[in-house]
Structure 1
């Protein structure tokens, strides 16, 4: 049986040795995309795994790594993964079953558990279609993409956003909104795909760069209405963003 999904893991050379893969399953292949490959210590670590391919990249930036995954994947379904996940293969294959029964859906988002126990956030208990206002809390590692429709619509990750850029967050939200803008469908399904560390980039409200990045993401998604949505977002999160100079920076970033 050929693999039906590729788990595309973005990493940096120094982190390559920390990747923990599940036991081999014939339905799942792994594509490890390595930026700063000269810093890999044990290059042959997965040489005995026929389900693993390693691709060295000379680019910098997480979104560029994600785009390389779209280019190099040998399956239509791609899970967008990080190098610090503990993957749930049963959940991943359940998500594949959902997509096989819903071939008009170009992307799905699932659920993550955290290492300290429980789910990452409070998720819905049933499936629903995504729109621009209900997918803002999605993490990359919760996303499975259907490569064909994205390629036909020329949709890729916006490499001006994401870790390694001046706007180090929001690339997954932009991608989902671009999918929806193209007239494609995306849906949430209540299936756990992996376990994620407790801390993540999106939960940090103390980093000024991340707060400014949120503002720029809103403008990127909503265009001319961006300022209106920035104001609404600021009102909702004013205690986290802060008053005075912080609020001003958010509105003018």
Structure 2
């Protein structure tokens, strides 16, 4: 059928930095050669340190811009596949990942985006996933990893859905890029579906390494204001006391951490006032 997708319609969008060769792709596909897949790499680098591909179906864009969301947007803009899979350079795919993705879009034709499952490198579920298909709302996309996202290229591009370049690693607020991307998808009346199929492995994130950092709390302050506006202050205080209760921070850190989160709120509000950012997803 003309509207059926094939595995060759899948393009993998890999964000990476400062690469000089393609060797990093080898462990991502332990069951096959990476050259068997359509891959678009955005390599954020400096001038005269470009990455080059000798494979026709492994394309490279060397970018001198910073930020993970910028990298994702460059990939989305230049991708040619009908189905696009968001990827990082440290993931490991399961042997049948591509077939699972294609089958899921065949079986759920109404979905513009499908979110899948990740296992840790210890072979455990990365998150507390549902056991059935779920049409997701703006709250339910909160825990989705970017590496779990596959999408229909034409529908996303038609609605001009992009990553918010103020959020994500290397940006002003280094968190929440996937959350606000998926919320923007839903805001544009496109459907985001969760399908309980494992497609990828990734090292388990250690919350103790991140939740006590100023960088994270500063970004989370901006996140809260973008989602809740005037109620963000209440949710920030609630978050700080959650961190205290879970022993991510000490009692003596409460004042400092609250000020960091408030600074995130203040700086995000300044972006809104300058009209360089919009509240809408």
Instruction: Give the structure 2 partner of residue 249 of structure 1.
Output: 260
Gap change, CA 1:103 and 1:86, over 3 Å in 2 = same
Asked if the contact 2:35–2:58 (Cα under 8 Å) also holds between the matched residues in 1, the reply is: no
State the Cα distance separating 1:7 from its structure 2 match. Answer: 0.7
> For structure 1, which segment, 52-61 or 13-22, has the greater mean C-alpha deviation from structure 2 after superposition?
13-22
Spell out the pairing of 1:53-64 with structure 2 (5 A cutoff).
53-64=59-70
Deviation at 1:58, TM superposition (A): 1.8
Q: Helix, strand or coil for the counterpart of 1:135?
A: helix
Q: Does 1:162 align with 2:162?
A: no
Give the gaps of 5 or more residues in structure 2.
1-5, 265-281
In structure 1, C-alpha distance between the alignment counterparts of 2:126 and 2:100, rounded to whole Å: 19
Which residue does 1:69 correspond to in 2?
A: 75
Q: CA deviation at 1:236?
A: 5.3
Q: Which runs of 5+ in 1 are unaligned?
A: none
CA contact (8 A) 1:63 1:157 kept: yes
Aligned residues of 1:3 and 1:27 also touching (Cα < 8 A):
no
Matches of 1:18 and 1:127, distance apart in 2: 33
Asked if residue 109 in structure 1 is aligned to residue 120 in structure 2, the reply is: no
Distance between the aligned counterparts of 1:97 and 1:34, measured in 2?
Answer: 30
Q: Scaled by the length of structure 1, what TM-score is found? A: 0.85
Q: Which residue of 2 aligns with 1:150?
A: 156
CA shift, 1:95, in A, is: 2.1
Conserved in 1, the CA contact under 8 Å of 2:39 and 2:59? yes
User: Which has the greater radius of gyration?
Assistant: 2
> 2:188 is matched with which residue?
182
**Shift of residue 82 of structure 1?**
0.3
Give the secondary-structure state (helix, strand or coil) at the position aligned to 1:33. strand
- 2:38 alignment partner in structure 1: 29
Structure 2 counterpart of 1:218 = 224
TM-score of the two chains, using structure 2 as the length reference = 0.78
Superimposed CA distance per residue, residues 122-180 of structure 1 (whole angstroms, 9 cap, x where no aligned partner): 21111111112222111111111222222222210001111112311110001111111
Match of 2:12 in 1: 7
Question: Quick check: 1:4–1:28 contact (8 Å CA) kept in 2?
Answer: no
Residue aligned with 1:3, SS: helix
Tell me, yes or no, if the aligned pair for 2:25 and 2:34 is still in contact at 8 Å: no
State the alpha-carbon separation in 2 of the partners of residues 131 and 121 from structure 1.
18
**Count of residue pairs brought into register by the alignment:** 249
The corresponding residue for 2:105 is: 99
* Paired residues of 2:237 and 2:258 also in contact (CA < 8 A): no
